Amino acid sequence: MNRKTTLAALALAAGALIAAPSMATDGYFQHGYGLKAKGMGGAATAMTDDAFGGANNPATMVFVGDRLDIGVDFFSPRRSAERSGSSPLLGPIDGSADSDSNLFAIPEFGYNKLLKPDLSLGVSVYGNGGMNTDYPGGQIPSASACAGFNTNPGPYNLLCGNGRLGVDLTQLVIAPTLSYKLTENQSIGVAPLLGVQRFALEGAQAFGGFSNSPSNLTNQGYDTSYGYGARVGWYGRVSDALSLGAAYSTKVYMTKFDKYKGLFADQGDFDMPENYNAGLAYRITQKVTIAADYQRINYSGVKAVGNPSSLLLSCAGGNSAACLGGSDGAGFGWSDVNVWKLGVEYQYSERLTLRGGYNHTDNPIQAKDVTINILAPGVVQDHATLGMTYVTRGGGEWTLAYMHAFQNSVTGPSFFNNFTGGTPAGNETIKMDQNAIGIAYGMKL
């Protein structure tokens, strides 16, 4: 593949990622990067069989060699929310809705080139997302307690706003990757992270009284921000059977969403969170390899994500810094999560490799923050995966991967209970499960 063709493929993949909304599984990170990793529960920190080191561990790329990978994952999350138990004395605000927009295409791209036997230069292009919901409106009638939160006439959606309710967050990262062998069996790597993200919110008019800039809170169309960060990594082949790896990513520091400076803390700030991972790969036999990863994602380090929604009560009490868009404004209340990934790879024949895996993550959403997370119900925890790679006679590799995230839910008291003078506003439940199937083509160059 010549240089022009490679650059054209990179531009195509990047453009597709920018255009494609997605919803991920470990909070709003994908459960894995690269279809081979996805078939193994996402475990990839100590694996060297594709060009996605910029997303997993930059140090592995010098062991990958000259390579191109391109693929797409078809992702289908099913999300629902309901409120029940509100008092008839309020004008009930009970209702339920299933989110539309249940199928997304998530492209991926990786390329690597050995400049010297101990030095490689490559690029990984990948995406995140996780706040994508699209609920129909009109569940709650005009004659309800919603009229006390929203001066616009009803009917209302589940958050007492008007029209459809939902958010759309897409994140693209382009990671140029430099990897260097310190010794024959050890390497280090660095990947500058160039971030682009797009966001839109609709149907949150009822929260205008909790915002420092109500005109920049909801229904402003799409806004885009840009930023930078870095990922560094180490990889070592301890023996013929055992490999180890570790990587660390800074925050990706993003420009602010000006159209939504009345939503996100610190006038529209929404960085991509710091994270780190460590893993091993162990070849049990010539045909069987197991891989295990641990990952930590520090959502709490991003105020718009990690600050508790209960800060809205301080806002109502006159503390403008706690309001939506404030310097320490209310957020979605997401906790930091620990992610455990386990995968097995079996070389069934010279041409066919089979994979399976399991991924478990902490639930970032607590019951006390359930209301605001109707917008972003990232509650799944357990994922089962399968995968395979078939090598053609010409040396090309076709990889398939499947993931099922088992249904999980969170129930908690509605935030509206704080403003009804002791009259019950009910409890809310958010729920989600997911399926994904992907295909990729890779080849050594």
pLDDT digits (tens, 9 = 90+) for 277-314: 999 999 999 999 999 999 999 999 999 999 999 999 99
What proportion of the chain, given as a percentage, has pLDDT over 90?
A: 89
Q: What's the mean per-residue pLDDT of the chain?
A: 93
402-433 tens-digit pLDDT: 999 999 999 999 999 999 888 999 999 999 99
Contact 377, 431 (CB under 8 A): yes
Long-range contacts of 139-144 (CB under 8 A, 24+ apart): 139/95, 139/96, 139/97, 140/93, 140/94, 140/95, 141/91, 143/91, 144/90, 144/91, 144/92, 144/93
The per-residue pLDDT for 16 is 45
Show the DSSP H helices in 93-154 as ranges: none
The answer on pLDDT for 14 being more than 90 is no
Can you tell me the mean pLDDT for 340-358?
98
CA distance from start to end of the chain: 7
Tell me the chain's radius of gyration from C-alpha atoms: 23
Can you tell me the mean pLDDT for 145-174?
94
The per-residue pLDDT for 8 is 46
Q: Which residues pair with 72 in a beta bridge?
A: 107, 439
Residue 257: both structure tokens together: 């969403």
Domains of the chain: 3-444 (2.40.160.60)
Q: Which of 142, 150, 311 is nearest to 219 (CA)?
A: 150
The answer on pLDDT for 9 being more than 80 is no
Q: Which of 253, 200, 250, 249 is nearest to 226 (CA)?
A: 253
The per-residue pLDDT for 179 is 98
Q: pTM value?
A: 0.94
Residue 253: CB partners within 8 Å, gap ≥ 6?
227, 228, 229, 271
- If you ran DSSP here, which 8-state letter would residue 26 be given? B
Can you tell me the mean pLDDT for 357-374?
97
79-104 tens-digit pLDDT: 999 999 999 988 889 999 999 988 88
Q: In angstroms, what CA-CA distances link 166 with 283, 370, 377, 397?
A: 46, 15, 11, 39
